[in-house]
Structure 1
């Protein structure tokens, strides 16, 4: 009998992106994920996560609390997953810590996978504003006719606080489209807004836009994404977690707009 690889039949829970999340399992197949030519180049990207089917409630591993899915910042999100179970969870570092403290995840198994920063995108072919310094970034936001950012998740929460700290919240929000979830770059690609604000890896996922760059270092934030086993996960799940951490090379991460942890 052919031995299955360590990722076969494992369930990986990723609390998707940095938006209000809908936990989505990745059912890893018999082929090695690096050879999956249909997968998104960023292994943590929601487009890749969405390829899996949802498991039935009561599967192996620990369980996310019923009625309490998480946002990427570890706070309660929307919806009810009915206590569905997995083997590995990928959340922000804060989310992993919160669920480990709640006894859902095994805190001793946690592994930091990557860092993600917030950036700016414009429609392909449009001029790139200067955002090289905090002052230039502030001026670019004031000069933009329209822009989009997300209401929930790490990038939206960060940006809403940032424009408050810069003293331009009223001016920016008067011309902003604030989406409840999804990709802000989709609006920019359609020509509906001039600037899209979101995590760089999510901006890169949308064709028809160009990345201007990250928010200046002095005023930016970096979310650390971390993986951990659910309580009760078995040795094959631990093997998958080790494989995942080793597979996320610096080159692969940077190709997806992420940085090594």
Structure 2
């Protein structure tokens, strides 16, 4: 009997020794605003099914603001995963900051408009109506990232109102357009739908017309100085999975459910 107890104890201790503790990694992620609200909800859900912990930072996809993703990478801040506009991610792949073959397109995002809560909502349902709404507004706010770049460099010229908008349009840095609109800093604001709908103090008008809409893919990539490659892949796989899709849709984005490159 004593011999059997000793044998069982040895097997139990040996199992603990060889199995070791469950490995837990801290995955450092920086995301641009379009995917931020979705990630805030998805990260805790991922942590429930994984020993890994997700550390989230935020920054715009492009631009020279001190907290933009390009500026933070230029300061040698370290991240495992970047989530931002696909074209901006491609730039980081070309520069070597992100590993080739790790890009995963997570969602499609479109541009919408908002006004301060309780203010009259202009008609933006057609291209002529949108043009008139832009011309009628005393001030128009747009982001310093992907959607704002499209508005200022493509849409305004296409509508033939670039000169007029140069006098009334305001580029918003380091905060969401909706926040500026809620404060009354601008009468009309444009940004990715997912960055507008959760802002208190504004009324969402709707998406801009399909004829002038700009759909932007927001993508994840793994940095070249990643600390936890396997854990980073695991997190991206979760974000790209059907499990994450309902949360992504609720955040105002279209999940793409892509196949993974690894």
TM-score by length of 1: 0.71
The structure 2 residue matched to 1:115, chosen from 99, 105, 108, is 108
SS in 1 for 2:234: helix
Which structure 2 segments of 5+ residues have no match? 1-19, 35-39, 49-54, 257-262
**Matched position secondary structure for 1:210:** strand
Residues 74 and 98 in structure 1, CA contact (< 8 A), matched pair in contact too:
no
Secondary structure in structure 2 of the residue aligned to 1:197: strand
3-state DSSP of counterpart to 1:12: strand
Q: Report the counterpart of residue 186 of structure 1 in structure 2.
A: 179
Kindly report which structure 2 residues correspond to 1:98-113, keeping only aligned pairs within 5 A, or say none: 98-113=91-106
Distance in 2 (alpha carbons) for counterparts of 1:108 and 1:80: 20
* Paired position in structure 2 for 1:94: 87
CA contact (8 A) 1:117 1:223 kept: yes
In structure 2, the partner of 1:13 is 30
Please give the per-residue CA displacement for 1:105-128, whole angstroms capped at 9, x wherever unaligned. Answer: 222222111111111101112222
Q: Does 1:243 align with 2:238?
A: yes
* 2:61 equivalent in structure 1: 72
CA distance in 1, matches of 2:78, 2:152: 33
Is the 2:46–2:235 Cα contact (8 Å) retained in structure 1?
no
Q: CA RMSD in A?
A: 3.1
TM-score by length of 2: 0.71
- Compared CA separation, residues 74 and 3, structure 1 to 2 (3 A): farther
2:254 corresponds, among 249, 252, 259, to 259
Whether 2:141 is the aligned partner of 1:148: answer yes
Contact kept? 1:113, 1:248, Cα under 8 Å? no
More helix by share: 2
Q: Paired residue for 2:202, among 191, 199, 209?
A: 209
> Which of 151, 157, 161 is 1:164 aligned to?
157
Partner of 2:51: none
User: For the structure 1 residues 174 and 86, does the alpha-carbon distance in structure 2 shift closer, same or farther, using more than 3 Å as the test?
Assistant: closer
CA distance in 2, matches of 1:183, 1:74: 14
